[in-house]
Structure 1
């Protein structure tokens, strides 16, 4: 779990952490979950700041860029995350994506680190899904279904088992052989010996599942319908794979941020362009102020959209581990 420390160098240098630097850092899934949960709790307590992100997109839509500023009240750091994707008008192989996180110590006023943020995001998002699952799942939840085998799908099951160790059946809906192999590899790495069932009948699998995490890409044909879900199911949307009906016919709706859901979840709108109200957000649930599930048989829809405070907390944790291991390059940027 990330805490206040003496990370900041006193000579004004900046520790730059590359993709390979971050790849060499060992961090447990439980550590990631605890760090992300603490960030939400701190936000709920009013100790952190998470303003709305800024977006820039050219008229022809060939690229999109975001800037997200935030402050973590436990670590006492300020950070800005940038995200830039180019080639949206081309195939995936021709697209370019870069994301960075720059952290500053808000006590000393000195820089801490700048890092590639791709691994941070690849861990933060499934950790949030796992926290949503833990808070929303029915007490007797035993079966989990993951839809999609991309970056988010590959760690979805290990994180779910971290927060819901009572899960017995692990189902996967995917079509890409390399992605399926990667999901199996990650599951075996973190939970050796656990079996994975590859499913082809999505309707039947959704009907069996207590927890569904939809992580598929935008071109997927998968679309779980509300009528397929049995009472007590929680359906968590990260990418694609859930039909709008799972939201509109849910007994209860939870989101990491209702404001972000209304901006990024427009593809879920009904024929009038409307989205239902969110019953509760995740931060106060994790803080113990509110409850996600209020009855065992409720079908719950959960919307997972990232908040920069979680990136900041996890990025700070990686900076701690990198400093302890002597990783990164110190750059005298302001000399």
Structure 2
């Protein structure tokens, strides 16, 4: 059917899973979203959160506008069963995009693949901007959704990394991490580590992606001078934040909403020195010396979801994927 203001292209999980996109394309798209935000051309309001008193679920709503792509979008996220193991949780996330030039809807899509790509891409950009010049060893903690592509994305932005370490306990997750590394970088190998403290001491870049139930918690004393510790999920103790020489965040406001588990005994979080969009814009440097220990917080910004979601919508339209739904008739 012809596109008009009553129809909406719906892109399912299977529609999006069949789209090919390179890691470099993802990184470039996410980086452009940060640059556009830093230039004041995009809008990324603070996310709205609702959570019941017993903490069994959490829901987010995020609205944003990409000023280069000229699109407006709303992302919703709902997770149920936070006290349960990952296989017993229910998680749904969607992104609905509107063209702000024509006024027509672009697409509504499952946002899970978008998140599984934009988050490790943001971590890789944080690593590129925050890592010491001679960074050679990377450690990933966790083998879930965010951990599985962490190493390939790190190699995309830091190709000189020569030692890749993984700390994980789930056999299927470890196998998935190894498979993704082989798929994207068949000539590279990773080491599975069991002594987390020792591995952290060797690492120049640490990306902590573990789930909430992980016992892993790298302390500040385990970090060597010049180390960069990036928190995506769990796996870093609060001391890595509070004793850092520099603190970088994708968004300080988002960090204060979602990073409360890293607060000190009085419930306080330290000030953020710089936000990633400003660093990527080239206005300021993430670190001022090679010996500084840098803590980086990756909470995700909806403008990156919008940019990457729009990129997927373009690819899907080219291949005529999705279902046209007469939603407003």
Same fold, TM-score > 0.5, yes or no: yes
Show structure 1 runs of 5+ residues with no match. Answer: 1-7
Corresponding residue of 1:314? 308
User: Is residue 161 from structure 1 mapped to residue 155 from structure 2 by the alignment?
Assistant: yes
User: Which residue matches 2:277?
Assistant: 283
Query: Any conservation in 1 of the 2:136–2:162 contact (CA below 8 Å)?
Result: yes
> C-alpha distance in 2, partners of 1:214/1:264?
15
Aligned to 1:219: 213
Correspondence for 2:66 among 55, 64, 72: 72
Shift of 1:12: 3.9
User: What is the deviation of 1:90?
Assistant: 4.0
Report the equivalent of 2:31: 37
How far the C-alpha of 1:289 sits from its partner, in A, is 1.1
Counterpart residue number, 2:100: 106
The aligned runs of 1:261-280 (5 Å cut-off) are 261-280=255-274
Find the counterpart in structure 2 of residue 239 from structure 1. Answer: 233
Cα distance, 1:89 vs structure 2: 4.5
Partners of 1:9 and 1:112 within 8 A in 2: no
Give 1:42-53 correspondences, 5 Å limit: 42-53=36-47
C-alpha distance in 1 between matches for 2:277 and 2:147:
23
C-alpha separation in 2, matches of 1:172 and 1:59: 35
* Secondary structure class of the residue paired with 1:297: coil
- Kindly indicate whether the alpha-carbon contact (under 8 Å) linking 2:210 and 2:234 is maintained by their aligned counterparts in 1: yes
Q: What's the Cα RMSD here?
A: 1.2
The CA deviation at 1:11 is: 5.9
For the structure 1 residues 221 and 283, does the alpha-carbon distance in structure 2 shift closer, same or farther, using more than 3 Å as the test? same
What TM-score results when the alignment is normalised by the length of structure 2? 0.97
Distance 1:269 1:10, change over 3 A: same
For residue 57 of structure 1, report the CA deviation from its aligned partner: 2.3
Corresponding residue of 2:318:
324
Match of 1:198 among 185, 189, 192: 192
- Does 1:27 pair with 2:21? yes
Match of 1:228 in 2: 222
Q: For residue 179 of structure 1, what is the aligned residue in structure 2? A: 173
The offset of 1:133, in angstroms, is 0.1
